[in-house]
Amino acid sequence: MEVKFNDVSFSYGDNKIFDKFFCNINSGIISAIIGANGSGKSTMLDLIDGLVSCNNGYVKIGSYMTGDGVRKNIGYLFQNSFDQIFNSSVYMEIEFGLKCFNFPDIDSRIRDSIKLVGLDESYLSLDPYKLSNGERRKVALASILCYDPDILILDEPTVGLDNKSKIELMKLLINLKKNYNKTIIIVSHDINFLVKFVDYVYLLRDGSIYLEGDKFFVLSNEEAMNSCGLVVPKVLHFSNLVLFRKGVKIGYRDSINDLIKDVYRYAKW
């Protein structure tokens, strides 16, 4: 499901965030929105979810306007999982959204969603407030996935996660895109995490799109990234360095392991 920002203006009081903002986010891929603090990243997510409304212009979700009966087609994972968990058991937490949207087969949906995020059914009786940060994040995601939204939006999903939990989250998001055709939109400062699996990147600066394109085009652009207060991912920075100092183009890779293989391939230089 495509998301379209058309001539959007939005302000928090006297603080103007967007003025005549345009953006198309394609369906069925993983898109990342990056930029310095205050560039408008989280506001984009809030506008998509209908948590705030445009002063002018509109945001369109598929063929619907934001808030026009599309709420259950959007799943929003907040930066802090405590902000969206308020029940005393994991089962009740996942059940809540299903009851709100009057879904049938609630029990089976609850059990399917907890398995989908990599937790077994023993978690259903536990208190989500007593889980680890990574486990609680999975519960929050299960509470969204249970009603099968077309669009998933995630605000800083790796905050507080260790490397193992980040890898598990990455694999889950790839699975949701490939096997469930989800449109996934991520806001994150964790550039080294994003480069491993996102498809498309929007680089924001002062409420406008400064640069957009496939992840290698945007994330390897040292000048653009630095001008927006960001640093190129380490794996891409190394490729740029080899090209600049040795004149050898080894290409861009998602992971250090793949990059090392290419380095050995060009060992003669």
- Give the CA distances from residue 133 to residues 80, 136, 162, 226, in Å, rounded to whole numbers and listed in that order: 9, 5, 9, 31
- pLDDT confidence of residue 64: 80
Q: What is the pTM of this model?
A: 0.88
- pLDDT confidence of residue 93: 95
- pLDDT confidence of residue 105: 92
Identify residue 240 by its one-letter amino acid code. N
Interval 3-29: pLDDT, tens? 999 999 999 989 999 999 999 999 999
In this prediction, residue 76 has a pLDDT band, given cuts at 50, 70 and 90, of very high
> How far apart (Å, rounded) are the C-alpha atoms in residues 119 and 109?
14
Interval 122-158: pLDDT, tens? 999 999 999 988 899 999 999 999 999 999 999 999 9
Give the largest CA-CA distance in the chain: 64
Polymer length in residues for the chain:
269
- pLDDT confidence of residue 84: 86
- pLDDT confidence of residue 5: 97
pLDDT of 117 above 70: yes
Side by side, which strands form the sheet with 15-25?
15-25, 3-12, 56-61, 64-65
Please give the share of the chain, as a percent, with pLDDT higher than 70: 87
Which residue reads 């939990």 in tokens?
165
Contact 88, 127 (CB under 8 A): yes
Burial zone of 65 (CB within 10 Å; 0-12 exposed, 13-18 middle, 19+ buried): middle
Structural domains in the chain plus CATH codes: 3-232 (3.40.50.300), 233-269 (no CATH)
Residues 236-251 as b or e (16 or more Cβ within 10 Å = b): bebbeebeeeeeeebe
In this prediction, residue 269 has a pLDDT band, given cuts at 50, 70 and 90, of very low
Closest CA to 19 of 34, 31, 9: 9
- pLDDT confidence of residue 101: 85
